[in-house]
Amino acid sequence: MKAAPWIAGLAGLLLAGAASAGTPDGATIARQGNGRGVAPCAACHNADGGGQPAAGFPRLAGLPSAYLLKQLDDFAHGTRRNATMQPVAAGLSQDERAALAAYYSKLPVPAMSTTPVTDPRQEALGERLATRGRWSHGLPGCGQCHGPGGVGVGGHFPPLAGQSAVYIANQLHAWQKGMRRNDPLQLMQAVAGKLDEADIAAVSAWYAAQPVAGGQQP
């Protein structure tokens, strides 16, 4: 196949041409918005994709592309409800959502400060729920799906480490209240329904205290 390099080169040129003509660029949308009313993602999720912990804006950097794309789709379709994100996702084209999911999944995980848990009883409860669950109530440990230390598993179980306590608690409440019902097999709705307020506070604080290796390539 002597012609192969030549053909590949031509194909590359054609693809590059197509990219400049119409394929959306995730980095550009993240920094500048999409020019059709969608604000830059970085305004809330930070330039490095690390989010704003205190405000509950989640880290996006290094999350699985499939997970990010599903969330954008689900915001657009209303199975994940959020006053800020629903219009944003609905204002993005399908190609733009895919480009953003790919862009953020490839961003290195930023160095993040963790917040230690100060109350040892709360820390013990959080660790217990995260690692062991409460099977007397049919509750699995978070890590049984989200992986050891909440590092995330595959495209369906996102990392919990490197997310803030505010964000994690907000999501657990959203699962409980039905504001979020885009979980496969209703796994999270089942889990969240077995947690009380003290549980949510403890497990959220525990994950926010877990170390995340900054600069880690996803």
Partner 1 sequence: MTPVFAKPGRQLAAASVLLMLLAGCGRDGQPAPPAAPVSAASAAASASSSTRQAKAAPKAIAFTPPPDSAIPDDDFGKQVELGRKIFLEPDKYAAAWVGNHLSCENCHLDAGRLANAAPMWGAWPMYPAYRSKNRHVNTFAERLQGCFRFSMNGKAPPAGDPVLVALESYAYWLSQGAPVGKALPGRGYPKLPRPAQAPDYARGETVFKRDCALCHGADGQGQRVAGRTVFPPLWGPGSFNWGAGMHQVNNAAGFIKANMPLGRGDTLSDQDAWDVAYFMDAHERPQDPRYEGSVQATRAKYHDTPQSLYGTVVNGTLLGQGTGTAR
| Interface residue list for partner 1 (CB under 8 A) | 128, 132-140, 143-145, 147-149, 151-154, 156, 176, 184-187, 189-191, 193-196
Handedness of CA 38, 41, 47, 53 (dihedral sign): positive
Tokens 């944003």 belong to residue? 88
**Closest separation in Å from C-beta 30 to partner 1:** 27
Give the residue with the Cβ less far from partner 1, 9 or 193.
Answer: 193
Q: How many residues does the chain have?
A: 218
Give the residue with the Cβ less far from partner 1, 51 or 152.
Answer: 152
Give the residue with the Cβ less far from partner 1, 9 or 148.
Answer: 148
Give the residue with the Cβ less far from partner 1, 51 or 133.
Answer: 133
Neighbours of 2 (CB within 10 A): 5
**Closest separation in Å from C-beta 57 to partner 1:** 26
**Closest separation in Å from C-beta 97 to partner 1:** 22
* CA pair distance 118, 115, nearest whole angstrom: 9
**Closest separation in Å from C-beta 136 to partner 1:** 5
Q: Are 136 and 213 in contact (CB under 8 A)?
A: no
> Which CA distances in Å does 33 have to 125, 173, 190?
41, 29, 36
Q: Cα 146–151–153 angle (5° rounding)? A: 50
**Closest separation in Å from C-beta 180 to partner 1:** 15
Give the residue with the Cβ less far from partner 1, 88 or 130.
Answer: 130
Q: Are 186 and 79 in contact (CB under 8 A)?
A: no
**Closest separation in Å from C-beta 27 to partner 1:** 28
Give the residue with the Cβ less far from partner 1, 26 or 143.
Answer: 143
Burial class (CB in 10 A: 0-12, 13-18, 19+), 121: exposed
- The residues, ordered by sequence, that sit 6+ positions from 71 with a Cβ below 8 Å of its Cβ are 80, 182
